[in-house]
Amino acid sequence: MATSVEIASAPTVDTPGTCLFVHSERRAYLFGRPEEGTQRAFQSRRLGMGATEQVFLSGSVSWELVGGLFGYVLTVGGVLEASREQTAVMNEERKSKGQKLTKQAAFETIHIHGGENLNHTLAACRPVILRQPISVRTHEHRENPRLEKIESIEPDWKDDVLRVWKIPIQRDRPSSPKKRRRSSAIVGDQKKPQFKEWSPLSDPEYASTLVEKVMFNGKLKGNGMLIPVKLSEVKPRDTVFTRQKGEIKLYKGPRPGDGSELTGPDQTVWVFPEKEAQIDRSADIINVTHRRLPPTIYSQSSMCYIVKCLDRRGKFNPQKAKELGVHVTDFRHLTAGSTIVTKDGVTVTPEQVLGETQPGQGFILADIESRDLIDSFMERPEWSNSELMSHVAIVYWILGPGIADDARIQ
């Protein structure tokens, strides 16, 4: 099974972002920066974006990415919705004729991978994008397990086609200075610190819940309303929220059915209403669609990737299989990796009839938008790991203005 990489878009007046379209016979992936104009680039090159189920955002998550990303996701969702409707109509006709029903679309969910603030940035758009007929799952990567040394080369993500290593690189300095307090200029006000301390990154789990439960929940129902219930009435699969000093947070304490003792069974918590449930408008309802998100800070990292195909089995030798007494109908079992026993009682393993395994080829996507990211990129331990870097054939560079002339990259 062949896997191809195409440069779907490159920086122009109409398409400022760079995107790679990776596709095989049964799956498609997007890597890079799907900014405004990405759909036009795909259409002009006649690339089938409707099959995309994994999106890997490179660089720092920013507002520039969101406009094009949402348009891309909505287009893919529209394709899937049309496919579902077409399949439903087709199955009604086949059912009336007593024929076997066809299966629904191969996938129902788009997965979005990215760095810090991925969930926060997406969730910030919930007042204008909600109740979409496509499900979205986010994967915000904040860990950095290979920062100093590589203890394992297991990929951070993989499926039956690709293996992906996520490589976050850090800025040498903050992208924006600390803000001076207004009172610090007043004479005699020396007890308080003159600069505000850095705020932490916001909780990605709360924001991802809004993205997955409110914005892209796979159905056209739900409006971000939370209804109050007692903790003792919570069901095992409910998403539970609490309110602390006016701030809405996910509830992570004991709940009914998990074997733990409830510390406050009568305390009020909030959950999404069940389907077709009657909502009491006089109750203490919370609308998370229009409530402020917890504050966060600008991302100080940029996401890069190593992408490699899975190793492919060696070429099947039918002549060798026949010499071992394997019947033609058993060829498929051997190519699938199963051991078979011939009618003469001879055990034949796949290794006896398959050639050498073909290592998966790969590429690097390096996204360096400013000079303060270069040293962090060059010092990554992945580049000196011979096993990880084997069969990496090419590097795709997404560079900020003037970065290509930097001597450290030459």
Q: Report the CATH number at residue 114.
A: 3.60.15
* 293 belongs to a structural domain: no
Asked whether residue 257 falls in the same domain as residue 110, the answer is no
d(CA 165, CA 163): 7
Asked whether residue 121 falls in the same domain as residue 183, the answer is yes
Asked whether residue 113 falls in the same domain as residue 25, the answer is yes
* 292 belongs to a structural domain: no
Q: What integer pLDDT is reported at residue 199 of this predicted model? A: 65
379: pLDDT confidence band, cut at 50, 70 and 90? Answer: very high
Q: Which residues, 6+ apart, have CB-to-CB distance to 405 below 8 Å? A: none
* Top mean-pLDDT range of 37-46, 175-184, 246-255, 396-405: 396-405
Beta strands 109-114 and 157-158: pairing type? unpaired
Instruction: Indicate if the pLDDT at residue 390 is higher than 90.
Output: yes
Q: pLDDT tens digit string along 325-345?
A: 888 888 888 887 889 888 888
* 334 belongs to a structural domain: yes
* 35 belongs to a structural domain: yes
Q: What integer pLDDT is reported at residue 106 of this predicted model? A: 64
Asked whether residue 125 falls in the same domain as residue 157, the answer is yes
Asked whether residue 116 falls in the same domain as residue 196, the answer is yes
Give the mean model confidence (pLDDT) for residues 177-185.
Answer: 51
Kindly state the DSSP code that residue 375 receives in the 8-state scheme.
H
Instruction: Indicate if the pLDDT at residue 395 is higher than 80.
Output: yes
Asked whether residue 280 falls in the same domain as residue 154, the answer is no
Asked whether residue 90 falls in the same domain as residue 212, the answer is yes
Asked whether residue 45 falls in the same domain as residue 13, the answer is yes
* 410 belongs to a structural domain: no
Give the mean model confidence (pLDDT) for residues 12-34.
Answer: 92
Give the mean model confidence (pLDDT) for residues 307-324.
Answer: 87
* 254 belongs to a structural domain: yes
Asked whether residue 231 falls in the same domain as residue 369, the answer is no
Asked whether residue 48 falls in the same domain as residue 61, the answer is yes
* 294 belongs to a structural domain: no
Kindly state the DSSP code that residue 305 receives in the 8-state scheme.
E
* 369 belongs to a structural domain: yes
Q: Identify the three-state secondary structure at position 244.
A: strand
Sheet holding 301-309, edge to edge: 157-158, 162-170, 301-309, 362-368, 392-399
Lowest-confidence pick of 96-105, 154-163, 266-275, 358-367: 96-105
Q: What is the mean pLDDT of the chain?
A: 87
| Enclosing domain of residue 256 | 225-287
d(CA 389, CA 382): 7
Asked whether residue 251 falls in the same domain as residue 211, the answer is no
Q: How many domains does the chain have?
A: 3
Q: Model pTM?
A: 0.85
Range 236-245 contact pairs with CB under 8 angstroms and sequence separation of 24 or more:
238/271, 238/272, 239/209, 239/213, 239/271, 239/272, 240/269, 240/270, 240/271, 241/269, 241/270, 241/271, 241/286, 241/288, 242/269, 242/270, 243/270, 243/286
Of residues 303, 68, 265, 42, the one with CA closest to residue 171? 303
153: pLDDT confidence band, cut at 50, 70 and 90? Answer: very high
For the beta carbon of residue 247, count every other beta carbon within 10 angstroms. 11
d(CA 106, CA 91): 16
Asked whether residue 194 falls in the same domain as residue 229, the answer is no
